[in-house]
Amino acid sequence: MLAVVLSAYMYFLEGSCWVFSGIAFTQGRKGQRREKRGSKEKKRRGVEEGMATSLENVVWAPVMQVFPNYLDIHAQLRGLDNFGFRLLEEQLQMVLQDVFVAVERSPTNPAQGQKPKFPYAMAWPIRITPAVTEGDGTLSQGAVLAITDMFTSFHAMLALLPSHPGHVSVSMQCNRMQTIREKDAIIVVTRIDKIGNRLIFTTAEFLRSMSPAVAMLDFAEKGIDAAIRCHSLCSNVKHVKAVLTPIIETPT
């Protein structure tokens, strides 16, 4: 008669049912087992596809097509950190025209009226070169975190337009599933999970092509969505950033 299901902790559902009859209890337990099996199957499929379930139905578009002012961000940062841009363009072979974005209505604006574009997720195709690997040809966890910080910084700046507040890292948590090696074709997918006045919660997933020799060909011919679907998940990074408020001068 009465069933109370408490669910949604991390990746699978757990529940406990309080019932007043044996029949209701049995049916509740059967339903719970079905939910667990379904949740585990969804988790398994997500890992195999190398993408979060929240990215299954998004529409990707070139970032320059959706946000032409993204060039302003690049110009601004290039003047501040030329080394970082050399790292991205020369040592990770990132091409601005190959960066894609998935948009949705801004979470900080009301639903009525025109819906402003919000860069929910971004995809950054890169190639791992010897310049960024360790002596054994592998990408270290420190390098994964550094790359994450750069891409999530770009992503956060785009999300905060037209304002240009500064931001700093609060915490980073990295889970590594597979080793990333020299010559790997990687797509880094960054996602803004939650954004507020002070904190931005982001996720970065490092996806490696399951067919390295044709990774860039697949990307060019099939589009970013297909390219992401044929990749496997190597690393997952949770990155929290704090938005800095402007300095307020007080009279002396």
| Other beta carbons within 10 Å of 23 | 10
> Looking at the DSSP assignment, which residues form a beta bridge with residue 200?
195, 241
Q: Give me the residues paired with residue 28 across strands.
A: none
Per DSSP bridges, beta strands 100-105 and 199-209 are unpaired
Token representation of residue 107 = 């979470």
Distance CA 209, CA 128 (A): 12
The pLDDT tens digits for 67-107 are: 888 887 777 777 777 677 778 888 888 888 889 998 875 45
Q: How far apart are CA 228 and CA 208, in angstroms?
A: 9
How many Å apart are CA 19 and CA 26, to the nearest integer? 9
* 149-205 tens-digit pLDDT: 999 998 998 888 878 788 889 999 999 889 999 999 899 999 999 988 899 999 999
Measuring CA to CA, which residue among 236, 57, 40, 78 is closest to residue 154?
78
Residue 228 token pair: 């992401």
Share of the chain above pLDDT 70, in %: 62
Take residue 167 and report the two structure tokens written for it.
């931001």
> Residue 232: which of 44, 73, 104 has the closest Cα?
44
Answer yes or no: are the C-beta atoms of 18 and 4 closer than 8 Å.
yes
Residue 56: what pLDDT? 66
Distant-in-sequence, close-in-space partners of 223: CB < 8 Å, separation ≥ 6: 60
- CB proximity list for 32: less than 8 A, separation 6 or greater: 5, 13, 15, 17
Top-confidence residue, 32 or 188:
188
pTM, two decimal places: 0.68
Identify the three-state secondary structure at position 239: strand
Residue 247 pLDDT greater than 60, yes or no: no
Measured distance CA(41)–CA(30) in Å, rounded = 17
Distance CA 240, CA 173 (A): 9
Give the mean pLDDT of 120-133.
92
126 beta partners: 186
CA dist 221 and 59 (Å) reads: 16
